[in-house]
A and B are shown apart, each in its own frame.
Chain A
Amino acid sequence: MTRVDLAALAQHVIDGHDADVGRLTREALDEGQSPAEVLERGLVAGMQVIGERFRENVIFVPEVLVAARAMKAGLAHLEPVLAASGIAPVGTCVLGTVKGDIHDIGKNLVGMMLRGAGVRVIDLGVNTPLPKFMAAIEEHRPEIVGMSALLTTTMGQMKVNIEAFRQAGVLQRARVMVGGAAVSGEYAAAIGAHGYAKDAPSAVGRALELLVEVKAARLVVEG
């Protein structure tokens, strides 16, 4: 029996065929292909093409949403296997939309794409109060904390949260990224965030850069 072609799997991700992605991921795993390979060459490769096409404005939000969902179908099979085989995720990210805000499409996209990049994502959902962020940071020790806000009336929470993170020493072990329609690169810098992106594909790129930074810093501290 021919082995599942991972390039074909990647193409299904790009085309948004969630049923095919789920089925082929399952088959690839069952026939003994390496979970890391299936993730890297099947799912991540597909999302990378999506990211490039989005940046080139060839595709837009719906195509990214549909591809991300297809990838999610594959991850549903992969994640348990990856965890069981002791393959460590590339990093951990805690995500949430701040208190008072219930918009989440962008955040959901970022979460899906980060998972596709091998990051363990803890999504706290919307209207997330500061204590919930703190508890999740305490429990999961993420390298990245991502906050989203769509409205000018709620983004002030980001500043408040970052200050609390600073006081609690969180910023020594993690980097903060912010995003959302109301946010800008300048606002992000002004409130002390380490990263900002205006769309999900760029957010993933920036998050991965910050991950490398954090890990290097941690090695120095703990080493």
Chain B
Amino acid sequence: MVSDEPLDLFNAAAQCDIWTEQPCGARTVCGKCRVRVVKGAAAVTSADTRLLSAAERADGWRIGCQLTLDREVTLAVPMQARSMAAKSFGGDDLFADGIQPNVQIPDGASPGAPDARFGVAVDVGTTSLAAALIDLADGRVVATTTRVNPQARFGADVMSRIHFAQEQADGNAQLRASVTDAIGAMIAALTVQGGISAEEVMAVACAGNATMTHGVVGADVTSLGQAPYCGSFTDERRWRARDGGWPTHAEGMAWTLPMVGHHVGGDTVAAIVACGVDESDRWQLLIDLGTNTEVVLGCRRTLIATSTAAGPAFEGAHIAHGMRAAPGAIDRVHIMKDGRLIVGTVANLPACGICGSGLIDAVAELHRAGVIAASGYLRSAVECGEQGVPPQLRERIEELPGVGRQVRLDGEVTLTAQDIRELQLVKGSIAAGIALLLRHAHVGIEQIDAVYIAGMFGTFVRTSSAQAIGLVPAVDPERVHFVGNAAGVGTRMVLVDAKARRRAEQVAQRCEYLELAGHAAYEDAFGAAIPLGAW
């Protein structure tokens, strides 16, 4: 692509439809955004000197988040540095029970124009945006589109973006413009894909966490970054879509789904509606796995939510060979009785890293085989021998000066002792959140009728592994359901059906929030949740 001005890598790549990653939010800590200069030259930055070896620098590798392109250059972006995003909005039978129209189709639309009867459901994720063009008459998905949330240039995670708004005088405005421009472009792209005109789009419903929702609306996000972490509003916000610059019918309305507060946003409310937790007679648990993992415990009478600052280990950050679920990522691991270790990778390509589900599988299997102790300690080859671990598995354990002990999984990809600790911290945080919710509601694990695991990462996780390490309570595995992008499905429901919209409003009002930071029992619960094991 060609540009008149210097560009950062993220923007340049985006224009070539390549979505690059910044796992540590451009803090130059992880080195995972590295790209290779194939032709031309790029200056060496201090981050390059610190994170890359002399040989790597000489070979053209540069730290992507620090790269400014100001002359002709050809770059190779490795798979590990790329983001893949594909979200679904549910199947065709979603409205089998009928629809109560949410949006009034105007009579007297301009002469000659067909009835405006489409809407767009937007899932405003921290990392990726997804939108679906929906036929409002029957709720059918006509087209979908996904793109990386361009706010990523201001920070990979919510806190980094809030920090940006704190530091920059017009930070809030930049955050808003960035995401609303992208949503506008997605709406336009959807109309083209669906073969309709912009005038036929009557409604746009957006769901995101509290920071994303404040961003879309243009409200100040900074209070979300300081205790008590509250925003300036939680109710549904509506505006004329065209006033926000979105290409719709002149009367088309846009709105954001209501929030619970404290980072439990419209996306969680949407997920609750999609899974039906608010209408269930029995207790159900909803876990939305991600960097901020929201957990909801509820039933018809009660809803309580909490946000566990789990961390991005599932997306590969802080994991030695961690990466997102892109081609080549180890996403499953199995150990046979004779000690043979088998890995599965995305798209069956040679292993170039390990993604969240692979990490959970690896730790669960290695624990089961006696290589990792319940405490999380990675045993030495000798200690494994004492445990009766077969030789061909023991042989995979290596001691590397500087890195410590690790298990070789496949090719260059290893699991280090530190990786196991990172996973323990994440799962400790989530499991402690679940335990405290249960305690708060005086509900026992045996009373849980269903566990819904949502989040794009959640689709690939194996129930047996998640339960074996204690990430998810050991309820009957038949009761564990992977619901993928429940937030997207819920947003589609709210867009189309007035009953769903009312439910969302009630959920937001009824749902209680349990603050974990500062909770008297948190330290104990966290400590107890760190060791590996089913519970």
Interface residues of A (CB under 8 A from B): 57-63, 65-66, 99-105, 108, 126-127, 150-154, 156, 182, 184
Known: A62-B531, A151-B225. 18 other contacts (CB 8 A): A57-B378, A59-B375, A60-B530, A61-B425, A61-B526, A62-B375, A62-B528, A65-B527, A101-B226, A102-B227, A103-B518, A105-B523, A152-B163, A153-B159, A153-B162, A153-B222, A154-B226, A156-B166
Does residue B98 face the partner (Cβ distance < 8 Å to A)? no
| Contact (Cβ within 8 A) A153 B527 | no
Could you list 28 A-B pairs, sorted by A, with CB under 8 Å?
Answer: A57-B377, A57-B405, A57-B417, A57-B421, A60-B375, A61-B424, A61-B428, A62-B528, A62-B530, A62-B531, A65-B523, A102-B518, A103-B518, A104-B518, A105-B522, A105-B523, A108-B523, A126-B227, A127-B227, A151-B225, A152-B159, A152-B160, A153-B162, A153-B163, A153-B166, A153-B225, A154-B225, A156-B166
Partner of B424, one of A60, A99, A105, A182: A60
B418 within 8 A of A: yes
How far is it, in angstroms, between the C-alpha of A65 and the C-alpha of B527 when the chains are bound? 7
* A60:B518 contact, CB within 8 angstroms: no
Interface string of B385-411 (1 = CB under 8 A from A): 000000000000000000011000000
**Which positions in B face A, CB cutoff 8 Å?**
25, 27, 29, 155, 159-160, 162-163, 166-167, 222, 225-228, 309, 375-378, 404-405, 417-418, 421, 424-425, 428, 517-518, 522-523, 526-528, 530-531
B405 nearest CB neighbor, chain A only = A57
A51 to chain B, nearest CB (A): 16
The residue from B226, B375, B405, B518 contacting A126, defined by CB atoms under 8 A apart: B518
- Across the interface, do A57 and B425 meet the contact criterion of CB distance under 8 Å? no
A103 to B515, CA, bound (A): 11
Instruction: Give chain A residues whose Cβ lies under 8 Å from the Cβ of B163.
Output: 152-153, 156
Nearest CB of chain B from residue A47's CB, rounded to whole Å? 16
Task: Report the nearest A residue to B529, measured CB to CB.
Answer: A62
- Candidates B159, B222, B417, B523; contact of A151 at CB < 8 Å: B159
B515, closest chain A residue (CB): A102
Contact between chains at B527 and A66 (CB < 8 Å):
yes
Q: Known: A57-B404, A66-B527, A108-B523. Contact between A102 and B377, CB under 8 A?
A: no
A60-B166 contact, Cβ under 8 Å, with A65-B523, A101-B227: no
Q: Given A108-B523, A126-B518, do A61 and B530 touch, yes or no (CB 8 Å)?
A: yes
- Chain A residues near B160: list those with CB within 8 A: 152
* Chain B neighbourhood of A101, CB < 8 A: 226-227
Which residues of chain B are within 8 angstroms of A154 by Cβ–Cβ distance?
Answer: 225-226
Q: How far is the CB of A127 from chain B (nearest CB, A)?
A: 5
Name the 5 nearest CB pairs between A and B, nearest first: A153-B225, A100-B226, A62-B527, A102-B518, A65-B527
CA distance A105 to B526 in the complex (A): 10
List the B side residues contacting A57 at CB < 8 Å: 377-378, 404-405, 417-418, 421
Complex contact B376–A60 (CB within 8 A): yes
Provide the residues of chain A in CB contact with B376, threshold 8 Å.
60
Most-contacted residue by chain B among A63, A65, A102, A154 (CB, 10 A): A102
A2-B225 Cα distance, complex, nearest whole Å: 57
Contact of A58 with B162 at beta-carbon distance under 8 Å, contacts A66-B527, A100-B226 already known: no
Compute how far the CA of A181 lies from the CA of B522 in the bound complex, rounded to whole angstroms.
17
> How far does the alpha carbon of A165 sit from the alpha carbon of B216 in the complex, in Å?
39
A59 to B373, CA, bound (A): 11
A126 nearest CB neighbor, chain B only? B518
| Docked CA distance A69–B481 (Å) | 39
Is B226 a contact of A153 with CB atoms below 8 Å?
yes
Given the complex, which residues of B lie within 8 Å of A184, measured CB to CB?
27, 29
Min C-beta distance of A157 to chain B, whole Å: 9
Q: Would B523 and A60 count as touching, CB distance under 8 A?
A: no
| A153 and B25 alpha carbons, distance in the complex (Å) | 13
